[in-house]
Structure 1
Amino acid sequence: MPDFPASHRLRRGRYAEPNRIYLLTTNTLGREPVFKDFSLGRLIEGQFRYAQNQGWAKSLAWVVMPDHFHWLIELQQGTLSELMQKTKSLSTRAVNMSSGRKGSLWQQGYHDRALRRDEDLVKFAHYVVANPLRAGLVERIGDYPLWDAIWI
């Protein structure tokens, strides 16, 4: 069996199932803290909303950290790879146009975790939105501007 790079090994066996819940995570290229500028983070929020409006995924919870995001979704149509490719491509274009940046914004690949419906989704949503608190960026979840969850 060929020895694929890590990003290709992650994709082998990946199966996207409509109406399944997934926790998605991706990092900026070189973990650059692009979204310390909250106005640029709002552009990522806009991409999450766009994906929902297009019927690709229902956003359940998300947080945009300075150098990555976590996105809890219910996949509606297409594959995770298509969703992430569209989200990363459109957000790169928006951030680059807004900030004058050029080139790639995101590292290749992403991490996904499929969740069972019987798992405590509210607990996962709280875990997602509490990331800024655990990272020491704020003292209360509500103090961080780049998050949302349908239950909180």
Structure 2
Amino acid sequence: MPRPPRPRFPGAMYHVTSRGVRKADVFTDARDRLRFQQIFQNVVERLEWRCHTYCLMTNHFHLLIETPRADVSAGMQRLNGIYAQWFNWRHGFEGHLFDRRFGSVLVEGHAHLLELTRYIVLNPVRAGACGHPGEWRWSNYAATIGERDRPAFLETAWVLSLFSQEPKRARELYREFIAAAPPRYFGRVSGSGTRTRPDQPYPYTPGKRSASRLTSSAAGRPTTFR
């Protein structure tokens, strides 16, 4: 049975995930991750994407991206394709690096967005790679709270504005929000008996689909946390 087409429209925001074939590693060291970030920056600039949150793990990655045009599939094919060619050249491999179909979930509201920002940066903690998201070099967390330089492809201002219009206060509230994550974000069994894994998409079931499109430039001011 053919797979259903992805929802695509200008100004959409997506949680995008991609993992290695048979869960094999797609990043082996810092050089791999730095090269991936360089290629991603090129895609962001070329397609005018906005990246609000990201995390590079070992056998997969997460991106929270906003696409001014309906080009998420084209952009991901370019990103994964160019990186896979470089990775195979560097390591002497052949064949597919990533699963053929990347995962994408349409972000459907500010509540969904905020939970995604927390879920993504907690991936390395959930996987046991570190004890705190600030210890993981390969996510946006440290840059968002102002403890590390921001990569050129990352935008932090809009997510922070959801917490407060005052930058220092926004960073404090963002930090508190991440720290207050419930048990399900760490792969523990929830009341429903389900368990999440670091390489799974965010365990969120949206309610009735919103008729509006969530974008950082959308009209109206989001609710802030005080």
- TM-score of Structure 1 vs Structure 2, range by shorter chain: 0.7 to 0.9
> Do the aligned residues in 2 keep the contact of 1:23 with 1:114 (CA within 8 Å)?
yes
Determine the C-alpha separation between the residues in 1 that align with 2:35 and 2:97: 13
State the match for 1:91 in structure 2: 83
5+ residue gaps, structure 2, are 145-155, 161-173, 175-226
Determine the C-alpha separation between the residues in 1 that align with 2:70 and 2:48: 7
State the match for 1:107 in structure 2: 99
* One-letter amino acid of the counterpart of residue 107, structure 1: D
Taking structure 2 as the reference length, the TM-score comes to 0.58
State the match for 1:15 in structure 2: 7
Distance of aligned partners of 1:94 and 1:78 in 2 relative to their CA distance in 1, 3 Å threshold? farther
- Between Structure 1 and Structure 2, the one with more helix by share is 1
Structure with higher RCO (Cα < 8 A, 6+ apart): 1
Alpha-carbon displacement from aligned partner over 1:60-119 (angstroms, at most 9, x marks no partner):
111111101111000122422212111111111222233333322111101111112433
**2:138 aligned with 1:146:** yes
> Do the aligned residues in 2 keep the contact of 1:42 with 1:146 (CA within 8 Å)?
no
Counterpart selection for 2:113 from 113, 121, 133:
121
Q: Give the alignment's Cα RMSD to 1 decimal.
A: 1.9
Distance of aligned partners of 1:15 and 1:74 in 2 relative to their CA distance in 1, 3 Å threshold? same
Q: Secondary structure at the match of 2:16?
A: strand
Distance of aligned partners of 1:98 and 1:77 in 2 relative to their CA distance in 1, 3 Å threshold? farther
Q: Greater CA radius of gyration, 1 or 2?
A: 2
> Do the aligned residues in 2 keep the contact of 1:133 with 1:140 (CA within 8 Å)?
yes
Q: How many residue pairs get matched?
A: 144
Determine the C-alpha separation between the residues in 2 that align with 1:52 and 1:79: 11
Taking structure 1 as the reference length, the TM-score comes to 0.83
5+ residue gaps, structure 1, are none
State the match for 1:66 in structure 2: 58
